[in-house]
Structure formats: structure tokens, C-alpha cells
Copies of this chain bind each other. A is one copy, B any other.
Amino acid sequence: MRDFSKNHEWLSINTATVRRQWPLDRIIDECARRNIRAISPWRDQVAAVGLDRIAAQLKATGIGLSGYCRGGFFPAADAAGLKAALEDNRRAVDEACTVNAPCLVLVVGSLPGALEGKPLHHDMTRVRAEVRDGIAATLEYARSVGMPLAIEPLHPMQAAERACINTLEQALDVCDALDPQHSGALGVAVDMYHVWWDPKLEQQIARAGKKRLLAFHVCDWLIPTRDLVNDRGMMGDGVIELRKARGWMEAAGFAGYAEVEIFSEYWWGQPGEVVLDTCVEKHRRVV
């Protein structure tokens, strides 16, 4: 297992972690200043500065990507909505190529309208089938341009609004169905916040194997947790056994970045410098 205590060469910052503090170009500069070698940016943050400008800045600073956030949200209200979702996913794939991402992360979506508080129906079986079809369609295009897709299982408390894929096992079942040859074109993003509770986690990480373990996200589960979306903790402030889980990832062949992704009203309220410095320190001590 890699020793993270000496430096932070395997630290990546998911840029949502400081999205309230800074625009993406500033985030990249602040990361470069701290010798943080990788980020995972969100599409809206990229768009706000400009895709080409960000691509050029990444090149100039030598900062790489650990992923690109995000595609998905396949289930739609109607055929027109589905068509728009698929087109948007193709654009996400293209953007991921432009910024040289190792994978496009998929938050697959769930009941249409639920995120806006008005689910159009309640049929989880149906949206799971639609998600599978949506991934299949996007995969065909992504393969053609060489961009791997990483399915991110979301915590079951997000099952209605954001993702109807809620365990690593379920995500890997989709991988088996759509990429039985384990080509590397389809895999998973293991975000510990979403999967830490799963009694089958170690087993399913081993099942995934190196080719399908495309990303590893860290933060922490706070006690108590006061909000279902924006109360994630800094590594070490909660109960997730991050180092144990990283051991499972590495035993399965994963050798990439530990990407810090913290959605938190608390941390969004701190100076960005403090957040990044804390990430560096906790990465060394806790991850």
C-alpha cells in the first residue's frame, strides 16, 4: 500500500469542494501553488471560465485530472427529454476529451422531476432500465473517442432524486451487462461517502478489479449528519475507515488519486486557502 504520509502526490481536489469560494481558474492556480497535481472539475465550473481557457491553463500548470464531473441523469419525462439527455452526455464526453480526463463520472439520475421536488412517477424498475439504456448509448460514443465512463453509485438516501444505482454491486452488474469483456471503457467511481456503509464493499471492490476501478473519492460521514446532500465531513472528522478502504482499492490494483469531494455548508463557509491546506494535511494523516 502506498505511503501517503510523506507527500501529497496522489491527492486530487474535486473542485466542488471550493466552488463557493473561487471560480475554476483561481482554483487551478491555488492547487498549483500547493503542488496539488490533479483536480476533478465540474462542467458548470468549466463553462463559467471557458473550456478552451481551462484546457490551456491545465496544460500550462501541468495539473492533470482524476475525473470529469459529470454525465448521467438519463431518465427523462419524455422522448424529447431523453434525446436531450443523450446529446448532453455526448457533449460531456467531448469536454472530457478536451481536458484530457481519465474518465467521465456518471451520476445516472433517477425519477424524472424528483430533483425539482415533483417526481413524474415512482417506478424505480423503469428508471433503472432507462439508465442502463442511457449508459449503453453513451458508452457506444465514448468508446469511439476513447473516453472511459465511471458509474458512481450514490448513497441510498439519494435514490429518488439523483441516482437509482446505489451500490457498487449494482454498478458492477451494469458493467458486466454492457462491457462483459472488461475492456476498460466502463467502470466505477468509488466515492466512500456513498458506499462506506456497504457490508459487501470489500468484496465488490475486489470484484471490480483494476480495470474497472476508475476513481476513488474521499471525504467523511459526520455524526450526526444534518443534511442529506451538503453535510459531508473533512477526512478524519467522521466515521469512514478511509485507510482500510484505500487498502482494499490498492489490493485490487487501483493506483490512482484519492480525490477529495466535500459538499458542505461548513467548508464552503471557510476561506478556500484553509480548505485546501486542510485537505493536504488530512490526505497525509488520514487517507
Of the candidates B128, B157, B224, which one forms a contact with A199 in the assembled complex, judged by CB atoms under 8 Å apart?
A: B128
The answer to whether A160 touches B239 (Cβ under 8 A) is yes
Q: Is the CB of A228 within 8 A of B157?
A: yes
Contact A199 B223 (CB under 8 A): no
Kindly list chain B residues whose C-beta atoms are within 8 Å of the C-beta of A159. 196-197
Bound CA–CA A152/B224 (angstroms)? 21
Whether A223 pairs with B119 at a CB distance below 8 angstroms is yes
Question: Interface digits, A90-114 against B, CB 8 Å rule (1 contact, 0 not)?
Answer: 0000000000000000000001001
Q: Which of A195-219 contact B (CB under 8 A)?
A: 196-199
Say whether A114 contacts B157, CB under 8 Å. no
Name the interface residues of A218-234: CB closer than 8 Å to any CB of B. Answer: 221, 223-226, 228
Nearest-Cβ distance from residue A186 to partner chain B, whole angstroms: 18
B111 pairs with A239, CB closer than 8 A: yes
A167 at the interface (CB under 8 A from B): yes
A152-175 Cβ-contact flags toward B at 8 Å (1 or 0): 000111011100111100100000
CA distance A174 to B156 in the complex (A): 22
- Can you offer 16 A-B residue contacts whose CB atoms are under 8 A? A111-B239, A114-B239, A117-B223, A117-B224, A122-B241, A124-B199, A128-B199, A155-B156, A156-B156, A156-B197, A157-B157, A160-B197, A160-B221, A160-B223, A164-B199, A166-B197
With both beta carbons as reference points, the residue of chain B lying nearest to A199 in the complex is identified as B170
Tell me, yes or no, whether A39 is within 8 Å of chain B by CB. Answer: no
